[in-house]
Chains A and B, each alone.
Chain A
Amino acid sequence: MLKSLGLAGAALLINSSVMAQQVEPIEYTLDNGMKFLLMPRDEQPNIITAGWISPVGSVNERPGITGVSHLLEHLLFKGTDSIGTTDADLDQQYREELTEIREQMRAYALDVQYKRMHTGEIDNPWDPANDTDELRDLRAQMTEIQDKQAEITIKNEFDSIYTGNGASGMNAGTSNDFTIFYINIPSNKLELWAWMEADRLRDPSLRELDAERFVVIEERRQRLEATATGKLDEQFDSMFWVASPYGTPVIGWMSDLMAYTEDEIFEYFETYYQPANLTGVIVGDFDPEDAESLIESYFGTLENKRPKADPMVTHSVPLLGEVRFSGECECQDQVEVRYRSVPFGHPDEAVFDVISDLLNGRTGRLYKSLVEEKEIATRASAGNQSNHFAGSFSFSATPKDGKELVVLESAWYEELERLKTEPVEARELQKVKNGQAADTFRGLTDNSSLLFQLAITEAFGGYGYLNEHPQRIQKVTAEDIMRVANEYFRDNNRAVASYTRQSNGEVKLITMEDVKASLPAEMVDMMTQQLSMQLEQMKAVTDAAELRIGLEELDAAMESGQIPQMMKTAMDYMKQQVLEHIKELEAAGSTPASEGDDQ
């Protein structure tokens, strides 16, 4: 019965959804250039989700100030002359005093402490544990002023005003290429939002900079350094993007986090937070006319103090050869193969999205092939990420039962070959399109999700994308997929990251079962036969010295790449057995003289 539904039903489904799916916000642009998208909907009564976005992120940074977009985002919650302090003048004075000390400390660190690091005397020029007497003294002065400043600071007033007025979910996010601020508010509090947001855009006080710097450093540790794969991922990103600022971690490199001054951060604010650079979005239960008049009154008075900032300048250079990165961590073994794809809005973006869907999920090709048929992976997935100015496409997988990562990698290349050479069947393609059409609706049912989509697409070039992209998906053909697969998934356009579990000093004996599990199914029989034959020959040897020479040859062959990587477990097993046999021979007193030669 269900099968008969077939393509007729699907065709119907697509038509109706594409016709219905139109996002049409009210557009409202202030004379200062700040644009607003208003989307009244009463499905969630009494609630508004409101926010604004600037198309600035880590791609706008340079060495020395990496992470500044994100730290600035944090500091924009510290208040203004009106919010967060009982005495704006005194607060200003303390901030100036702190700036002076901070600059002295910075100059000192870059000179004396960096030299001490370069000569190997200390490991980290910024760590207070490495302070000299001069630095300790400056730090104590700083603490003293900060403690005085704390007496006139109303901590977190920005948050408590919102909280006491029934706002919730106040937050902000910084990415490679946008920074967004958002909150849920009761329907009657739209004016509060306009007041608070316009106030901080007009005149933010970047107070409590030093404490916040340490907060961000803890955030870096929490999100990255104290996670299983965080540090390796960061390095892999930076290798993959070569010259492009997409290789800069959004949270910033540790050395830079310690270095910037309040002036540098404020300069960054002035550059990228001019009203003409911003888009506001309001979604939910509100009257658009009331909203327009509030917007006009509050945001209309913001001034553009500078010309519009340049977007990212340094674009990525193509990869000219395969990049390989292997690391050890306290993590599951895993492999990722990553390619350059296309930026947001490129005609091929929709094709990459369709390719991801063909590969993913339990009916996707990767699960069927790597998990079910070949039984080499426990998980395998792929995905495209089209950022504002550049994109990437990744395959990643975790092995089953200690399979070598190269086995997973080869299986991925086989899937790629299929994409490159065989047209996708009509039903398989239709399945993906059906899912995409339904997901388009699903993504619009929630205020916050709608706000994010409107804000980000508008920041990247226009919310019209939300209506056009689903249509582009529906138009993707089997030929498009083959063309894109051939054009982008090339051997010299890829970077491969392999992570394996740190041995932790524990020696685990390899068994024949491990060897079998590590090999592709079709090789198991052949290899085990060959291996047992070699083991028998080896056992017959009675000279330990001869065996040691054999071991060295084996190592050399592995290192030089004569033996393929996927044989590694098998070779490790062989070595283990040889060593075992050597021990037996030596314990039995055979050729003790050779031992001395070898040690």
Chain B
Amino acid sequence: MKLSNKVFSIGLAMGIAGTAVGFDDMPSHPREIQFEELVFEAPIASDFRHELDNGIPVFMASSHEFPLMTIRFSFKGGSYLEPEGKAGLAALTGQLIRSGGNSAFGPSEMDEEFDFLAANASASIGNTTSGASINSLTSNFDDAFAMFMDMVKTPRFDEDRLEVIRSQMLEGIKTRNDDGLQIAIREMGFLMWGMDHFEGRVATKESIESITIDDIRAFHKLIFNPSNLMISVTGDYEESEILAVLNNTMDSWEAGPIAGDVPVPTHSFEPGVYYYEKDQPQVQVLIGHRGIERDNPDAIDVSIMNDILGGSGFTSRITNSVRTREGLAYTAGSVMSNRVEYPGMFMSYFFTKTPTTAFATKLVFDEFDRIQMEAASTDEIEVMQNSAIETFPRTFESKGATMGLFISDERTGRASDHWQTYRDRVRSVNPDGVQRAANEYLHPKDAVILVVGPWEEIKAGNADSEADPERVVTMDAFFDGKATEIPQRDAESMKPKASTSKD
């Protein structure tokens, strides 16, 4: 480094710099700084939207900073379409499309070609949507894209590669009881959505072993066809050229069935304390219940409410009391997730040492109480409103993210003026609305408290180690001290083990 060891006094440094102001003239607090207004207009989807001859929407936004370009395919359809008993089919199919070769090349040849061209190709099947993308230097994009299209349209599904992925998945599921958080998330999924709905469902040894090449071919056809497709193009390209290339490729691609709609979960759960026994030095705690739908008219009130409660990092109340004030956890907060078709999930979470599990849980429930009983201050609300408004441009931070958003909006039928009116809707949030949202959408009495750890010690709380009697709490403070043990599950089958011995 070229830094010098010279030490200057403040005066000398300022003299040399010759700047107009010294520190004494600086604002004494950031609130005194005057900022220029930042003008930002949200981009409008229709400005970027094109259609191919066969009607497939293409969202395009170029940039010429680097000689790279990306085409992303987004398909309707995902793991919710897996037939009964075939959990894991979606993940396996996605991976095999990418790694199983195409009509021109066997799997390792195709991989070699992509790598030699320094092109990144991907394919994956998610919960409700699926995708494939190709990113390469503009100079060899034609070759890379031709290989990619062949892979997406006519994947080879090489059987040896299928067995490699299958064995990776089979090894992977053996580790499902190793990590406490993984157990907690899985069990919360079972409780919230049931083991049959795709949100809760997990693959088993049996389901993975039962998947055949025919299952995979059929699943690919169901999702990866033009009827489900929307496209985005970003990076260094010429618009007319790319549209011509896309039109050409689509010609020979037969439209298939439109993927069915996402099923609504029908499972219900009993509120209460649930525990999964595991010998570990830190306990994972999840407190949850069902949340809201994305297009719920109260969604903005609910979102600001959750930001105040636990959704906005250090500035939110749960983080403040559990982490900053009491030092009980490194990670603590809450999330209100939504879904388009049905209510999502509200969840508060933290990880703490065994004896303070009950104390931290009580702090979270105190915050539920407080936000329901007392109106939040306008200051507190303003911080969250400003944050939502001022970070709004980040929603459109990169062209890739923006095009992805437009595709998702069109697919899910989001109101076309959603982003144009967003900031005004945020501005209209008031203390009444926040309190109403807390009372209507938070249900502490109907929640699940899920803990993973050594139950007897968790239950006993912190009487042994806490000097301040007001901070002593045991798990008896919740749901009249009643708790349900979740049986230990066999990692591979997810079935309860016969005996629940502590070891």
Contact = CB atoms under 8 A, between A and B. Distances in A.
Contact of B330 (A129, A215, A445): A215
Contacts of B21: 297
Contacts of B315: 156, 159-160, 163-164
Given A20-B67, A296-B19, A363-B112, A155 B467 contact: no
A150 B327 CA distance: 13
Interface in B49-95: 63, 65-68
A293 B19 CA distance: 7
B23 to A, nearest CB: 4
A259 interface: no
B19 A129 contact: no
A195 B27 contact: yes
B390 A165 contact: yes
B199 to A, nearest CB: 25
A35 B2 contact: yes
A213 B323 CA distance: 11
B477 interface: no
A410 B384 CA distance: 57
B372 interface: no
Interface string A138-182: 011001000000100001101111011111101000000000000
Contacts of B65: 41, 43, 445
Contacts of A156: 314-315, 319-320, 324
Contact of A192 (B35, B177, B398): B35
A441 B67 contact: yes
Contact of A379 (B6, B168, B387): B168
Contact of A218 (B2, B7, B328): B328
A12 interface: yes
B38 A155 contact: no
Given A46-B38, A164-B382, A165-B390, A33 B464 contact: no
A327 B240 CA distance: 60
A211 B467 CA distance: 15
B115 A431 contact: yes
A45 B180 contact: no
Nearest to B503: A505
Contact of A221 (B137, B324, B351, B355): B351
B1 A191 contact: no
Nearest to B312: A163
B382 A13 contact: no
B67 A16 contact: yes
Contact of A219 (B1, B2, B108, B330): B330
A293 B30 CA distance: 17
Given A308-B5, A330-B177, A362-B111, A372 B393 contact: no
Nearest to B165: A378
Contacts of A297: 19, 21-23, 26
A189 B330 contact: no
A421 B112 CA distance: 24
Interface stretch (A2-10, A412-420, A489-497, A535-543): A2-10
A445 B320 contact: no
A551 interface: no
A210 interface: yes
A65 interface: no
Contact of A128 (B7, B35, B143, B466): B466
B20 to A, nearest CB: 8
Given A82-B29, A195-B27, A331 B175 contact: yes
B391 interface: yes
Given A225-B281, A445-B65, A17 B137 contact: yes
A279 B172 CA distance: 43
Nearest to B161: A372
Interface in B141-199: 143, 146-147, 160, 164, 167-168, 171-172, 174-175, 177-180
B118 interface: yes
A136 B282 contact: no
A226 B452 CA distance: 11
Given A192-B33, A276-B3, A445-B66, 15 more contacts: A2-B146, A13-B139, A140-B467, A166-B387, A186-B390, A187-B38, A188-B37, A210-B327, A215-B323, A226-B180, A226-B281, A227-B179, A301-B23, A329-B178, A462-B1
- Lowest 10 A-B CB distances belong to which pairs? A166-B390, A214-B327, A211-B327, A438-B118, A219-B330, A159-B314, A164-B383, A221-B282, A226-B282, A128-B465
